């Protein structure tokens, strides 16, 4: 099993290219199931989760090929041979549930295993199912699978999500494109990944209005056609690499970065004393001498502070001047990185959904273990600011969401290496 070794080495300087968004790409890929014509995605990230989704689509009969080293994904679902998403594939990744809506909308039936993924909370799929039921789907949960059918096809409906759910909004949005009549999704998620999905679906012939707002309206069409679509920049990778110079000093330009993708996060960095400015090529992040200031953070749905940057922000606050309060409002079990940071000398007190972090002058390198995707990279960031050597084990989580992290950080001066078999 691979490990990442990080040695604190002072300020960083240079440029880091930001990949296409993992969460957007995982949502866009199932859209191929809505049409018999090819769907091509450009700027696709090269990640293990993308390979898992490719395997799932291929198990259903779709053709998937990665061109140009994987940054272009060419997909075609002209002849589906199965409508069963098997547990052995779905259990690896929660985004697998997103094949349910498209298959149901196109062919009127689907059998999909209940999903797996990072162990950061319950994250139930009931909102996905309730939205599809509102459109006329008949659902039966048995033996760990969702058996879904819509013999007469899906019908447009008005559905209000009781709580904001990104995945459920995405599943319902895709299903609604082929439903008869008009579908209105209220209290819809507003994430950039959903806006990106809507843009792709429109390129395929869908009639969608209101993405990026709490109310999305979809006028169903008889069929969708093929399209080519560029995957939006990964705002979580962007925020993560913005934190690298924030934690250990220096100046780094994030190529392809956009302020509109990370507005709430950038405001917190600036409040902590970190310079963030737009450039022609992306965003530049600068930290001067001295400790950063402590800031309080509460995770919220977009456009608020993203839960997927909470662990990384905690790493920064571990060496801030003062006490910071981090409240996790999205997932109920997302402070599992705190004990590992404490092994490095951090002072953290977790009480339920709130973590109180008292900054220390310096962290110390230590052997630590990644517990989930974002926790893994938070430990690497902490290692950049620590004295001595930090060894992060179980980094298979990391490869699900970060493309060549050791190369990207190494290119701006970090002492970081991957060791195989430890």
Active-site residue numbers? 118
Distance, in Å, from the CA atom of 236 to the CA atom of 214, rounded to the nearest integer, reads 22
Distance, in Å, from the CA atom of 330 to the CA atom of 350, rounded to the nearest integer, reads 16
For 105-150, strand residue ranges (E) read 109-113, 138-142, 145-149
The reply, when asked if residue 127 is annotated as ligand binding, is yes
The reply, when asked if residue 126 is annotated as ligand binding, is yes
Q: Which residue in the block uniquely carries the two structure tokens 């905690």?
A: 314
CB 3 within 8 A of CB 399: no
CB 178 within 8 A of CB 205: no
Q: Dihedrals φ, ψ of 145, to 5°? A: -125, 150
Q: 3-class DSSP state for residue 66?
A: strand
Distance, in Å, from the CA atom of 21 to the CA atom of 231, rounded to the nearest integer, reads 6
What is the CB neighbour count within 10 angstroms for residue 55? 15
Largest interatomic CA distance in the chain = 66
The reply, when asked if residue 231 is annotated as ligand binding, is no
3-state helix/strand/coil string of 105-139: HHHCEEEEECCCCCCCCCCCCHHHHHHHHHCCCEE
The reply, when asked if residue 123 is annotated as ligand binding, is yes
What is the dihedral sign for C-alpha 199, 201, 204, 207? negative
Tokens of 401: 């969401």
Distance, in Å, from the CA atom of 104 to the CA atom of 53, rounded to the nearest integer, reads 18
Could you tell me if residue 335 is left (phi over 0), alpha (psi between -120 and 50 degrees) or otherwise beta?
A: alpha
Q: Which residue in the block uniquely carries the two structure tokens 């790409």?
A: 25
The reply, when asked if residue 158 is annotated as ligand binding, is no
CA separation, residue 69 to residues 37, 38, 65, 255, 352 (Å): 23, 19, 10, 19, 43
The reply, when asked if residue 343 is annotated as ligand binding, is no
CA separation, residue 124 to residues 115, 121, 129 (Å): 9, 9, 10
Rg (CA), the chain: 21
Cβ-in-10-Å burial (0-12, 13-18, 19+) of 71 comes to middle
Distance, in Å, from the CA atom of 84 to the CA atom of 90, rounded to the nearest integer, reads 10
The reply, when asked if residue 330 is annotated as ligand binding, is yes
The reply, when asked if residue 46 is annotated as ligand binding, is no
The reply, when asked if residue 43 is annotated as ligand binding, is no
The reply, when asked if residue 92 is annotated as ligand binding, is no
Distance, in Å, from the CA atom of 353 to the CA atom of 330, rounded to the nearest integer, reads 9
Q: Which residues fall in the annotated binding site for phosphoenolpyruvate?
A: 22-23
Task: List, as residue ranges, the binding site.
Answer: 22-23, 94, 123-127, 308, 330
> Binding site for UDP-N-acetyl-alpha-D-glucosamine, residues?
94, 123-127, 308, 330
């Amino acid at each position: 099993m691979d490990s990442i070794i990080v040695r604190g080495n002072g300020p960083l300087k240079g440029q880091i290219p930001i990949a296409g968004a993992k969460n957007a790409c995982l949502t866009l890929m199932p859209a191929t199931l809505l049409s018999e014509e090819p769907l091509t995605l450009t700027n696709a990230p090269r990640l293990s989760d993308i390979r898992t989704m490719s395997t799932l689509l291929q198990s259903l009969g779709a053709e998937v090929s990665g061109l140009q080293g994987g940054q272009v994904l060419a997909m075609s679902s002209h002849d589906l041979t199965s409508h069963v998403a098997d547990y052995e594939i779905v259990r690896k990744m929660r985004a697998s549930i997103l094949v349910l809506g498209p298959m149901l909308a196109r062919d009127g039936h689907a059998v999909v295993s209940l999903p797996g993924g990072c162990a950061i909370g319950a994250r139930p799929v009931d909102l996905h199912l309730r939205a599809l039921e509102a459109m006329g789907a008949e659902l039966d949960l048995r033996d760990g699978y969702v058996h879904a059918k819509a013999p007469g096809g899906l019908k447009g409906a008005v559905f209000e999500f009781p709580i904001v759910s990104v995945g459920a909004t995405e599943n319902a949005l895709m299903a609604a494109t082929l439903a008869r009549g008009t579908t209105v999704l209220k209290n819809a998620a507003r994430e950039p990944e959903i806006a990106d999905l809507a843009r792709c679906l429109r390129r395929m012939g869908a009639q969608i209005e209101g993405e990026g707002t709490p109310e999305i309206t979809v006028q169903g069409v008889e069929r969708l056609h093929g399209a080519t679509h560029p995957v939006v920049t990964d705002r979580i990778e962007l925020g993560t690499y913005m934190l690298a110079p924030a934690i250990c000093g220096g100046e780094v330009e994030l190529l392809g970065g956009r302020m509109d993708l990370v507005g709430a996060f950038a405001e917190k960095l600036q409040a902590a004393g970190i310079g963030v400015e737009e450039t022609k090529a992306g965003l530049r992040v600068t930290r001067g001498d001295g400790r950063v200031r402590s800031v309080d953070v509460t995770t919220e749905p977009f456009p608020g502070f993203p839960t997927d940057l909470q662990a990384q922000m905690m790493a920064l606050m571990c060496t801030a001047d003062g006490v910071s309060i981090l409240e996790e409002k999205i997932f109920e079990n997302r402070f599992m990185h705190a004990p590992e940071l404490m092994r490095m000398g951090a002072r953290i007190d977790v009480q339920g959904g709130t973590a109180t972090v008292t900054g220390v002058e310096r962290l110390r390198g230590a052997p630590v273990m990644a517990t989930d995707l974002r926790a893994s990279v938070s430990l690497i960031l902490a290692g950049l600011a620590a004295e001595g050597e930090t060894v992060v084990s179980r980094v298979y989580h990391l490869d699900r969401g970060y493309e060549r992290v050791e190369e990207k950080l190494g290119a701006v001066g970090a002492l970081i290496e991957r060791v195989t078999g430890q």
